[in-house]
Structure 1
Amino acid sequence: MSTAQLKTRAPDTGPGTRPAAARVPRPARPGREAAQWLALRLIALAVLLAAWQAAVAAELWPRVLVPSPGDVGHAFAVGMTDGYSGHLLTEHLAVSLRRIGIGTGYAALVGVPLGLVIGAVRPVAVVLEPAVTFLRTLPPLAYLSLLVIWFGIDESPKIWLLVVAALPPIAAATAAAVRDVPGDLVEAARALGSGPATLLLAVRLPAALPEILTGVRIAVGVAYTSVVAAETVNGVPGIGGMIRDAQRYNQTAVVIAGILAIGVSGIVLDALLKAVERAAVPWRGRA
C-alpha cells in the first residue's frame, strides 16, 4: 500500500475504537461557564449604556429629564463623598436596609406561626386566610395614610408599613408549604405516637422549611419595593427620602443614582438570602 493510500485511509472503526462522530464532547467546566455568563452580562450592560448615551447625544429628550450615564455617575460619586439631604448615600441606604430588616423580621415572627396554624388547622384557615389574602392584595400606599394617622410621622409608621407588606407573603407561603407536606410522612409520625404539637413542629415545619424560606425572600423583595413609599413621609435619612427630595428639585441624576443603589443592593441582598437558604436546607431539589 502506498504512502498516499495510507494518508487517505479511513480511521479504524473496529471494536477497540470509537468513531469520531460518536465521541461525546466534554462538558464545559463550571468556572468557564460562569465566566461566559459574566461576559454576556457585561456585554448586555455595555450595549444598554451605549444606547442610553446615544439617546442623550441625539437629544431625544431634554437633559433635565434624561441625564447621561456620566451625569448619573457623577451624582453617585457626589452622594458617596458629599452626600444628599445631609447624609451620605451609604447612610441613606443603610437606614433603609435596617428598616427592611426590622420590618421583615417582625413579619417572619408573626407570619411563620400564623401560616403554620392556617395550613394545619382548617377552621383557623377559614377565618384568617381571607384576611391574609386581603392584606396581600393591598398596595402599600393604600394604608400608609392610615398608619400615619395612627402612629405619627416618626419611625413607627414606616416599620408598620413594611411589616404589613411583608407578612402576607410569608404567611401564605408557609400555609401552602404545610398543606403540601406528604401525607405518608404525617401518618408515619402519627403511627409512632406523635401528637398534634409534635406533628406541627417536628414534622410539618422542617418539611415546609424550603418553601418558607422562599416566602421570606419574596417578603424581603416586597418590603424593598415598599420602602420608598414608607419613606415618603419624613424619610430622611433613607434612600426613599433622598429620592423624594431629589424629585422635588428635578435632580433626575440623583433620582436615577438612588434607583440604581436600590437595585444593586437588592441583588446583593437576594444573593445573601439564597446563600442562607442553601445552607439551611441543603436537601432542597434533591431526591
Structure 2
Amino acid sequence: MTATTTPAADTSSAESAPAPRNRYRTPIPALATRIGALVLVVGLWLLVTAAGLVDPLYLPPPGAVWDAFVRANTRHQLAPGVDRTVIGEQNYYLWEHLVASLQRIGVGVGLAVVAGPLVGFVMGMLAPVRLITEPILNFLRSLPPLGYIGLLIVWFGIGDVSKIWLLFLAAFPPIAIATLNGVAGVKQDYLNAARSLGAGRVQVITRVVLPATLPEVIGGIRLATAFAWTTVVAAELNNGIPGIGGLAYISGTQLDTPLTIACIIVIGCAALVLDSLLKLAGDVAVPWKGKS
C-alpha cells in the first residue's frame, strides 16, 4: 500500500515566493497627500479671511494675492483712470525679478561650490589645518546675514558684488563642513583594504575618499542653496531691484501685503524646484549612496 504525498518542495517554494510588487502604488498616495495638504492650507486660508478673523492688511485673501501675482506679470494701468501703463512691478515683470535673484544666487553658491569642497577636503586630510580653521568656519556659520551686510556694503558698495559676497558667505560654511564631515566619516576599513591591495596615497584619495565624501558634499550643496534662498531678501535690501527679495522688501514697506505674500510664495516654490533638481542630480551622480 503506497501513501500519497504532496510535493513539499513546491509548497514551500510557493509560500516563500514574494508577492508581486505593484509599481504604481507608491507615487499616487504621496502625490495625493501633498495635494490634500495644499488644499487644506488654502481652504483654511479662505475660511479665515472670509470670516474676517484677520485684518486684510495682515492676511489678505488668496484672491487678492493672485491678483497681485497677475498684476506683477502683466502690463497694466498705473492707477484707475490714469492713461498710463507700467510693466509689472518696479518696471520689471515678476519673472525678471526672479531671474535676477537666481543669477545672484547662482554666482554666490557657484563660488561656494568651488571653494567649499576644496577647503573642507584639505581640513579633513590635514589635522593641523583643521585645528586652525574649524573655529573660524564655525564662527562664520553662526553669523546672521544681517550682521555683516552693512560691512559688505562699505567694502564693495551697494551693487551686485556685495550681494554675491553675502550669498557666498551664507553658502560656503555648510558645504565646507559637509565635506569635512564626509572625509572624517570614511571608514578606516575601506582605507586599510585599499592600502592592502597596493593602492598609493593618490589612489586612496581618488578611489576611496572622494567617492565616499561626494554624497555629503551634495547634501551640503543642497543645504547651502536653501541658506542662500533665506538670505536673498537680506542681500537685496539695498538696491535690490530687479530682485525677488528686493521686491518683497519694498512691497512690505509699502504695506502691499498681497504682493509681499506673492513674492514669498514664488521664492518658496523656486527653492523647492531647485532643491528637487539638486536632489535628482545627486541621485544620478552618486548612485552608490546608502550602499556599503
SS of the residue corresponding to residue 114 of structure 1 reads helix
* 1:102 CA drift (Å): 0.8
Aligned to 1:230: 235
Change (3 A) 1:79 1:42: same
SS of the residue corresponding to residue 30 of structure 1 reads coil
CA RMSD after TM alignment: 2.1
Normalising to structure 2: TM-score of the pair? 0.86
The 8 Å contact of residues 56 and 63 in structure 1, kept in 2 or not, is answered as yes
Greater relative contact order structure (CA < 8 Å, 6+ sep): 1
Aligned to 1:204: 209
The 8 Å contact of residues 120 and 200 in structure 1, kept in 2 or not, is answered as no
Q: Does 1:272 align with 2:265?
A: no
* 1:261 CA drift (Å): 0.3
SS of the residue corresponding to residue 290 of structure 2 reads coil
Change (3 A) 1:205 1:24: closer
Task: Tell me how many residue pairs correspond in the alignment.
Answer: 270
Aligned to 2:85: none
Aligned to 1:74: 67
Q: Which runs of 5+ in 1 are unaligned?
A: 1-13
Distance in 2 separating the partners of 1:189 and 1:285 = 20
The letter for the 1-side match of 2:71 is V
* 1:29 CA drift (Å): 2.8
Aligned to 2:96: 91
Aligned counterpart for 1:154 among listed residues 156, 159, 169 = 159
Distance in 2 separating the partners of 1:124 and 1:110 = 15
The 8 Å contact of residues 147 and 160 in structure 1, kept in 2 or not, is answered as yes
The 8 Å contact of residues 217 and 273 in structure 1, kept in 2 or not, is answered as yes
* 1:194 CA drift (Å): 1.2
Aligned to 2:123: 118
Question: Aligned runs of 1:30-69 on 2, under 5 Å?
Answer: 30-69=23-62
Change (3 A) 1:76 1:23: farther
Q: Does 1:213 align with 2:218?
A: yes
Distance in 1 separating the partners of 2:16 and 2:193 = 49
Distance in 1 separating the partners of 2:136 and 2:129 = 11
Distance in 1 separating the partners of 2:108 and 2:45 = 36
Distance in 2 separating the partners of 1:185 and 1:116 = 17
Q: Which moved more, 1:133-142 or 1:53-62?
A: 53-62
Change (3 A) 1:24 1:63: farther
The 8 Å contact of residues 111 and 167 in structure 1, kept in 2 or not, is answered as yes
Change (3 A) 1:189 1:52: same
* 1:286 CA drift (Å): 2.2
* 1:202 CA drift (Å): 4.1
Change (3 A) 1:86 1:24: farther
Percent of residue pairs bearing the same amino acid type: 43
* 1:25 CA drift (Å): 9.7
Aligned counterpart for 1:108 among listed residues 101, 110, 113 = 113
Aligned counterpart for 1:242 among listed residues 236, 247, 264 = 247
Aligned counterpart for 2:265 among listed residues 260, 263, 284 = 260
The letter for the 2-side match of 1:194 is G
Aligned to 2:172: 167
The 8 Å contact of residues 228 and 241 in structure 1, kept in 2 or not, is answered as yes
* 1:47 CA drift (Å): 1.6
Distance in 2 separating the partners of 1:247 and 1:66 = 12
SS of the residue corresponding to residue 222 of structure 1 reads helix
The letter for the 2-side match of 1:118 is M
SS of the residue corresponding to residue 25 of structure 2 reads helix
Change (3 A) 1:152 1:49: same
SS of the residue corresponding to residue 237 of structure 1 reads coil
Distance in 2 separating the partners of 1:68 and 1:267 = 23
Aligned to 1:187: 192
The 8 Å contact of residues 116 and 200 in structure 1, kept in 2 or not, is answered as no
